[in-house]
């Protein structure tokens, strides 16, 4: 039962992804990308990665659309009409081969939710068991991000803030 909903969501995901690269102008492409990352957020929510779904919904579906639109403000109508040359023979051969290679590599990954996979026996149990006593934060991801790695997160925020200010200074006249 859970499987079929996942298949349905992944089909919607594929449809929007194909639509985003096949429509004729950039504006429609941006809108389709917004719905694409929304479906991706639904897939994340469905397999239980709630925090990733939150970031995908907020950044992918919300902020990325606004940023793409800000870019489109600086274009002329003739730039936003897309002319696509047909793909070359090399592309048609190399990319399916790359896909097969990735699928072959994915065969070795541990199964979804496997309790004996290396990722869930190494250090995750320590965090899962002790983070509430250590930090009094009910959400483990927030505890790791904001308590155990708080300095790291703070400096990351400083970097993003500095780059945002630099972009605002550089693009001041256009936007």
Partner 1 sequence: MKIFLFCVLVLLAILIGAYLYRVLRGPTVFDRVLGLNGISTKAIILLIVIGVYFERVDMFVDISTGYALLNLVGALAVAKYLEEKGHS
Closest of 55, 22, 53, 58 to residue 40, by C-alpha: 53
Q: Does 73 bind partner 1 (CB under 8 A)?
A: yes
Query: Taking the complex as a whole, how short is the minimal distance between the CB of residue 50 and partner 1, in angstroms?
Result: 5
Length of the chain counted residue by residue = 175
Q: What separation, in Å, do the N-terminal and C-terminal C-alpha atoms of the chain show? A: 48
Q: Does 13 bind partner 1 (CB under 8 A)?
A: no
Query: Taking the complex as a whole, how short is the minimal distance between the CB of residue 166 and partner 1, in angstroms?
Result: 22
Q: Decide if 39 contacts 13 (C-beta within 8 A).
A: yes
Binding residue for partner 1, selected from 32, 40, 131, 143, defined by CB under 8 A = 32
Residue 85 CA to residue 73 CA, distance in Å, equals 25
In three-state secondary structure terms, 3 is helix
Q: Taking CB under 8 A as the criterion, which residues in 40-69 touch partner 1?
A: 41-42, 45-46, 48, 50, 53-54, 57-58, 61-63, 65-66, 69
Element (H, E) at 19: helix 2-22
Residue 129 CA to residue 105 CA, distance in Å, equals 32
> Which one of 15-23, 88-96, 101-109, 150-158 is the stretch in contact with partner 1 (CB under 8 A)?
15-23
List contacts with partner 1 (CB under 8 A): 1, 4-5, 8-9, 12, 15-16, 19, 23, 25, 27-28, 31-32, 34-35, 38, 41-42, 45-46, 48, 50, 53-54, 57-58, 61-63, 65-66, 69-70, 72-73, 77, 80, 139
């Amino acid at each position: 039962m859970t499987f079929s909903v996942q298949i349905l969501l992944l089909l919607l995901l594929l449809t929007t992804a194909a639509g985003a690269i096949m429509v004729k102008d950039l504006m429609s492409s941006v809108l389709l990308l917004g719905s694409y990352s929304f479906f991706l957020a639904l897939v994340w929510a469905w397999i239980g990665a709630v925090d990733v779904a939150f970031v995908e919904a907020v950044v992918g579906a919300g902020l990325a659309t606004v940023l793409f639109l800000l870019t489109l403000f600086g274009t002329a109508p003739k730039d936003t009409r897309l002319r696509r040359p047909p793909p070359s023979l090399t592309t048609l051969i190399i990319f399916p081969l790359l896909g097969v290679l990735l699928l072959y590599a994915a065969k070795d990954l541990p199964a979804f939710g496997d309790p004996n996979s290396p990722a869930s026996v190494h250090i995750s149990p320590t965090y899962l068991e002790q983070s509430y006593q250590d930090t009094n934060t009910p959400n483990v991801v927030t505890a790791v991000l904001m308590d155990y790695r708080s300095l790291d997160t703070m400096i990351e925020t400083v970097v993003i803030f500095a780059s945002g200010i630099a972009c605002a200074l550089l693009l001041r006249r256009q936007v």
